[in-house]
Amino acid sequence: MPSIAVLPGDGIGKEVINEGLKVLNFMGEKYSLNLKFEEFDIGAERFLKYGELIPDSILKRLETFDAIYLGAVGDPRVPAGILEHGILLKLRFHFDQYVNLRPIKLLNDRFSPLKKKGVNEINFTVIRENTEGLYAGIGGILKKDTQDEVAIQEMISTRKGVERIIRYAFEYAKNINGKLTLCDKSNVLTYSHGLWLRVFEELKKEYPEVQTDHYYVDAITMKMVRNPEIFDVIVTCNMFGDIITDLGAELQGGMGLAASGNINPNTVSMFEPVHGSAPDIAGKGIANPLAAILAAAMMLEYLGRKDLSDKIEGAIKISIDENLLSKDMGGNLSTGEVGDEIVKILKRG
């Protein structure tokens, strides 16, 4: 009986998670999954009321779940960075979710921003390191607010951290029979990305069956636009993964369709839409729940039911073909109606 901790968070987080749960509940009943949900109230409200981000008691409770299903955090009343650090990054680091898995898959040609690239070309996965690099949060400021001020931010890479993510990526590429691309900037970041490149070269020998190549991060952004079809799996550091997956999200039709898994097979993994809390449209019932529903599908795959994940993705594809979509995607349905339609399609087939 898989247990899922639900953290809707702020803004449209709540609205889109509702639709994800609608789909999960339906699938749970239909396929007797026996899913157990428990909701936790974290986000801006709690912070503004109690000055609390994730209390230790909740963190302890979360450790007992099979997965976490997260909406979005962020609120204009809270200074930038606080909720991201105190909740999103906190969870990634606390649970040592070292894999950030971000599929870039265009579901319908009409959503491609590119003249020459469609569903056959835009279909790859970015595997982003999720626990170190520039995200370590380590550094400092000397002589703050003087003319002599110096600020240092450390990009820290450990062999263990680099090796486990690159190994995960090789395994992933091997499983899908795909090519693995290393994205780094080892010609300039000779220390940190020198390590990445060395480990990549080492592991190549352990996976002779996996084809590989290597691009610097600047060139990757060009290639993603010019020849996205050359990619199957890209492995990269935390910071570059952040950047290229947003570009990737745009290639697959925008944030409305981008889902992400924060994975550590030995602790608790977390699934989330990549988009934020979108305070400007929160509460209006117009948010697009597809990314949250795709995140729910990724979670089912993680829990061992790739078959059901595929069904949900299939239903989303149909809803796109039939334009059963929210306004931002060119449809005219409300958030709730989009979820209802997905469930209807799943019922049909």
Ligand X SMILES: CC(C)[C@H](C(=O)O)[C@@H](O)C(=O)O
Mind telling me the catalytic residues? 135, 185, 218, 242, 246
Nearer to a second copy, 17 or 195 (CB): 195
Q: Residues of 206-231 as b/e, b for ≥16 C-beta within 10 angstroms?
A: ebeebebebbbbeebbebbeeebeeb
Query: 22: alpha, beta or left, given left = phi > 0 and alpha = psi -120 to 50?
Result: alpha
User: What is the maximum alpha-carbon separation in the chain?
Assistant: 67
Rule CB under 6 A: is residue 84 a binding residue for ligand X?
A: yes
User: Dihedrals φ, ψ of 325, to 5°?
Assistant: -135, 165
Q: Which of 30, 41, 48, 141 binds a second copy (CB under 8 A)?
A: 141
Rule CB under 6 A: is residue 242 a binding residue for ligand X?
A: yes
**Residue 88 binding target from a second copy, ligand X, none, CB below 5 to 8 Å by type:** ligand X
**Residue 150 binding target from ligand X, a second copy, none, CB below 5 to 8 Å by type:** a second copy
Rule CB under 6 A: is residue 88 a binding residue for ligand X?
A: yes
Handedness of CA 110, 114, 116, 122 (dihedral sign): negative
Residues 33-72: x/- map of binding to a second copy (CB under 8 A)?
----------------------------------------
Q: Give the pair of three-digit tokens for residue 58.
A: 């909740």
Which region among 113-121, 203-211, 293-301, 313-321 touches a second copy (by CB under 8 A)?
113-121
CA distance 98 to 191: 21
Total length of the chain? 349
Nearer to ligand X, 89 or 119 (CB): 89
Q: Which of 195, 203, 259, 333 binds a second copy (CB under 8 A)?
A: 195
Q: Give the pair of three-digit tokens for residue 79.
A: 């200074």
Q: Which of 39, 96, 246, 328 binds a second copy (CB under 8 A)?
A: 246
Residues 206-245: x/- map of binding to a second copy (CB under 8 A)?
-----------xxx-xx--xx------------xx-xxxx
Residues 260-279: x/- map of binding to ligand X (CB under 6 A)?
--------------x-----
79: exposed, middle or buried (C-beta count within 10 Å: 0-12, 13-18, 19+)?
exposed
Count residues near a second copy (CB under 8 A). Answer: 64
Rule CB under 6 A: is residue 222 a binding residue for ligand X?
A: no
Residue 347 amino acid letter: K
78-97 binders of a second copy (CB under 8 A): 80-81, 84-85, 89
Q: For the chain, first and last CA: distance in Å?
A: 25
How far, in Å, are 4, 104, 264 from residue 61 at the CA level?
11, 32, 17
